[in-house]
Structure 1
Amino acid sequence: MNSIMIGLPGQPPQIVLRMVGRAAGDDRGFMINPSGFKGWTDGGSLRSTRSDRPLGHGQFDAPGYLNARVLTFSGHALADSAADLDQLRYQLTSVLNGGQLGRVTVAYEGKTLWANCRLESAKCEPMASDPSVGDFLIQLVCPDPRKYGDTREFSAGQLAFHRGNAEAYPVFTIKGPTIGGYTLSGPDGKQWVVPVPMPSTETHTIDMATGVLRVNGQVRYGLAVRSDMWSIPGGTKVAHSVNGGTLTVRLTDTEI
């Protein structure tokens, strides 16, 4: 069943929207119209600071960046009575209404992906012809327009990959002991070099999305003498290695 779940990360969803072909009145809950599912499957839009060349053709080149993703879901709220519809309206307008960062998880066409989001607006109004049926709309904004799916683990030497169409950032875990530190090697000669011995009680985690190194969960600065950054595009396989300790690579499906 295609569905949308919205709530706080790591907690049960506050609300579930369903995308199934049921006629109004034969079930209770929120049913999305075929035309009311917008923003999730779009490729996104880019922004750039390119400016026109005042004395030449074209523009000065500049990199492009994805805008935030805007999601709009609308359809019918099906209740048992007018009072029950008011309860559904209360439930809908309670979702993320404190301004907190939430999570939208979409199961669609056999694939389940998620993105972090904030509430933009939500409303549900009864239809004049039937007070037990309402028209609802909820709009979300995803500051990070990327969508995420399954996370896989790979060991040293294995070809790490993901099933998305965008760049994914690996997370590396190195467990001691090491005598003279370690060198983590990635694609195109890129490396992280940490010349600090690691006892068997230490675990280092390197997140390529942020460039942050943690030792037993605590952020540590200044340990690496070389800290190149890299990502893994969709459709690419990359092997990683480390010359000390035990390496685990975690990679999450990342889509636009």
Structure 2
Amino acid sequence: MDRENSDGEYDLPTYNAARVVTVTGNLQARSHMDMHEAMNFLTGPMRGRLQVSGHSSTQWADAKRNAGVKFTPITDTLATWQVPLRCPDPAKYGDRHTYDLAPNVAVSAFHRGNYAASPVVQVNGPLVGGFTITHPGGLYTALGDLGAGGWVRVDFATGRLRLNGNDRSDLVTRADLFKVLPGNNASVKISKGTGYVEVIDTYM
């Protein structure tokens, strides 16, 4: 947005739109009937994980079909196809890194991507009286006890807490969030229990 009666423009936040990808290919079938079966498959609902390998690191994103499929027969057994895909989350992801946590021992979490990554922290029981996660963005504190074999997972993209797989964000009393920035270590520690912090290489 331009500044009124001044040089330049306002420094407004910028956000990334959904990622749109077009996948093309050739289809060589054993018979004309097989080619039509393949056409039925390609033109049906399509969603899943799109993965690209062979150029540097392997990267993936969750995608779904965004529009109609273009299927062009060349011969009775040969066709070309084109599928437009849309990734609602524009980020691409790569390798997963885990760093073990022990009470009041800080670990340095790191990833190899080029975009800020949202970590997940898992805390395992037994523990009594809740726990606190200390991180570069502040504190994340939750109440409650955990028996042996119990666990909680905190997703720092949303701040939600899951206790043994169930959403128990009502136990949270403070929920400062943080991201692991590319090229930087993030110091993370827990006050009680054991567990780990998980970071996925994140790209834009």
Post-superposition shift, 1:113? 2.2
Aligned position for 2:4: 54
2:98 aligned with 1:153, yes or no? yes
2:117 aligned with 1:168, yes or no? yes
Q: Would the aligned equivalents of 1:77 and 1:124 in 2 still touch at CA under 8 Å?
A: no
Give the aligned CA root-mean-square deviation in angstroms: 2.1
Give runs of aligned pairs for residues 15-94 of structure 1, distance below 5 A.
51-94=1-44
Q: Which SS does the other structure have where 1:64 is aligned?
A: coil
Post-superposition shift, 1:250? 1.3
Residues 85/110 of structure 1: CA separation in 2 closer, same or farther (3 Å cut): farther
State percent identity of aligned pairs: 33
Give runs of aligned pairs for residues 1-256 of structure 1, distance below 5 A.
51-96=1-46, 101-109=47-55, 111-120=57-66, 121-127=68-74, 130-156=75-101, 157-187=106-136, 190-256=138-204
Which range is displaced more, 240-249 or 218-227? 218-227
How far apart are the structure 2 equivalents of 1:75 and 1:179? 57
How far apart are the structure 1 equivalents of 2:57 and 2:141? 38
> What are the ranges of 5 or more consecutive residues in structure 2 without an aligned counterpart?
none
Post-superposition shift, 1:68? 0.7
Which whole-Å deviations, capped at 9, do the CAs of 1:179-212 have from their partners, x for residues lacking one?
3322211125x11122444443532211001110
Superposition TM-score, scaled by structure 2 size: 0.86
How far apart are the structure 1 equivalents of 2:80 and 2:152? 51
Post-superposition shift, 1:160? 1.8
RCO higher in structure (CA 8 A, sep ≥6): 2
Post-superposition shift, 1:167? 1.2
Q: Which SS does the other structure have where 1:210 is aligned?
A: coil
Q: Which SS does the other structure have where 1:236 is aligned?
A: coil
Post-superposition shift, 1:95? 4.6
Equivalent pairs, count: 199
Post-superposition shift, 1:164? 1.4
> What are the ranges of 5 or more consecutive residues in structure 1 without an aligned counterpart?
1-50
Residues 180/91 of structure 1: CA separation in 2 closer, same or farther (3 Å cut): closer
Q: Would the aligned equivalents of 1:92 and 1:123 in 2 still touch at CA under 8 Å?
A: no
Aligned position for 1:24: none
Q: Would the aligned equivalents of 1:93 and 1:122 in 2 still touch at CA under 8 Å?
A: yes
Q: Name the amino acid aligned to 1:231.
A: K
